[in-house]
Amino acid sequence: MLDYLEEILSTLKQNKLRAIMTGFSVAWGIFMLIILLGSGKGLQNGMEFNLRNIAQNAIQIWPGRTSLEHEGLTKGRRVQFTNEDVELLQREVSGIEDLTGRLYLWSEVPITYKSEYSNYTVTCITPAFYRIQRQNLIKGRFINENDQRESRKVLVLSQSIVDNLFKDEDPIGQYVKLGGIHFKVIGVSASPTDKDAKDALIPLSTGQRVFNGSHNVSNLAMTTAYQTVEANKQVENSVREFLAKRHRFSSEDQEALYVWNTMDSVKQSQGAFNGLRIFIWVVGIMTIVAGIVGVSNIMIILVKERTKELGIRKALGASPWSVVQLVLSESLFITALAGFVGMLLGMGVLHGATLILSKVYEGNPMIRNVFYNPSADFGVALSAAIVLVVAGLLAGFIPARKAASIKPIEALHDE
């Protein structure tokens, strides 16, 4: 082993510049690969960070207009969800874990506190909502079953609204006028993703009663008990069938309902990121291939230059295999060393980027939703290493064959 190393090093020392320039292209290829992969991961992490507050397996459904005639009824009918839908859905369709109906009021409603007021969108929900779309509780409490049952006039505001209306005052227990009616503020919330979100939430029953929503519900949101795409799709279809029967539209009608299944978008973006990752690998490998061709080129020249030496070795008893080993181990050595350097530099740059980014997050947290923790994990480094070994062997293949086929007599009389 030591012999090998000695042999290789002495040959390389002969022409350091050439060895360095050869290794450069491989190092560069690996460097680019690591950077690109890390960045890809960063983008993916950002997206996942962005989605993590919405339950992975949530399905949201909005009513639309029918586009097909069905059971004698014309198309163009508006579909309207009601409380009954919610009740029956929960009872009849299996696989639904949490279910809430939401009611959006027609337009923005003025909320007034003392002399401050502004218009906000008010949403009427049931307590199940909090299990479907996570909120952070800053103060007080969320809307609960009692509020819903007794149609209490209570209100949960997001922090940004509180900042506007109450400034530094504690809003809990205070009364505001919502559309002219007094509501008590019972809680302050914040969205984990959007710090400027302005949510004003009141119980669904209250909204229906006070603002004349009767039994109507604007949309349905639910989580399922399942994690797989197929199972979720099943639930989605069951829900669709159920609603189609109740509201008498065809279950094939694509416009009667708008369904947003978060599983779908998660899978889609995962698919997109997988595609990105494959693309990056392809680009990275092509760069490395260019590097290999460079190494191979240099090795061929090297073999040519060493014709005499190789001829001598053969005359002294070197088998073709030992000559091949000589050439291959040299090209392997160069590629491995160069690749290692490239890998170190790549991971170093990524690490540095992570450090810089964490400073940036403090000033601008939204960036975290886009680009987060770019890193090349160990698996990536390992795959890169394997690519390198293969690359080194490939690069040395042709020159090694040339070396092995040198005829000693020709080499020795090569003057």
Partner 1 sequence: MSKSIIRVEALHKSYVNGKNSLHVLKGLDMNIQEGEMVSIMGSSGSGKSTLLNVLGILDNYDAGSYHLDGIHITRMNETKAARYRNQYIGFVFQSFNLISFKNAVENVALPLYYQGVSRKKRNDLALEYLGRMGLRDWAHHLPSELSGGQKQRLAIARALISKPKMILADEPTGALDSQTSREVMDLLKEVNQTGIAMIIVTHENEIAAQTRRIIRLRDGIIESDEENAAFQHESSAAFLS
Binding footprint of partner 1 on the chain (CB under 8 A): 2-3, 10-11, 14, 308-309, 311-322, 404, 407-409, 412-413, 415
Nearest approach, Cβ of residue 20 and partner 1 (Å): 18
The nearest distance, CB 309 to partner 1, in angstroms, is 5
- At its nearest, how many Å lie between partner 1 and the CB of residue 335? 22
- Buried-exposed string 44-64: b where 16+ CB fall within 10 A, e elsewhere: bbbbebbbeebbebbbbbebb
CB atoms within 10 A of CB 410: 10
Nearer Cβ to partner 1 (44/325): 325
DSSP string, 104-157: E-SS-EEEEETTEEEEE-EEEE-TTHHHHB--EEEEE----HHHHHTT--EEEE
Interatomic CA distance for residues 339 and 337, integer angstroms: 5
As beta bridge partners, residue 176 has: 183
Task: In whole angstroms, give the CA distance from residue 232 to residue 216.
Answer: 26
- At closest approach, how far in Å is the CB of 409 from partner 1? 5
Handedness of CA 349, 354, 359, 360 (dihedral sign): positive
Report, in Å, the least distance between residue 408 CB and partner 1. Answer: 5
Least CB distance to partner 1 at residue 398 (A): 18
Question: Helix, strand, or coil here: 158?
Answer: strand
Q: Who's near 150: CB < 8 A, 6+ residues apart? A: none
First to last CA, the chain: 33
Residue 14 or 214 with smaller CB distance to partner 1 = 14
CA dihedral 160, 162, 165, 168 (to 10 degrees): -110
What's the closest the beta carbon of residue 400 comes to partner 1, in angstroms? Answer: 14
Nearer to partner 1, 63 or 311 (CB): 311
Which residue, 11 or 261, has its beta carbon nearer to partner 1? 11
Q: In the complex, what is the shortest distance from the CB of residue 312 to partner 1, in angstroms, rounded to a whole number? A: 5
What distance in Å separates the CA atoms of residue 223 and residue 231, rounded to the nearest whole number? 12
- Kindly tell me which of 143 and 411 has the beta carbon lying closer to partner 1: 411
User: Is 349 or 412 the residue whose CB approaches partner 1 more closely?
Assistant: 412
CB of 385 to partner 1, least distance (A): 30
- Check the CA dihedral 399-404-410-413 and report its sign: positive
Q: With respect to partner 1, which residue has the nearer C-beta, 14 or 80?
A: 14
Instruction: Give 386 or 409: the residue with its C-beta nearer to partner 1.
Output: 409
Instruction: Give the residue with the Cβ less far from partner 1, 95 or 320.
Output: 320
Look up residue 365 and give its DSSP letter.
G
User: For residues 247 and 408, what is the distance between their CA atoms, to the nearest angstrom?
Assistant: 91
By three-state DSSP, how is residue 260 classified?
Answer: strand
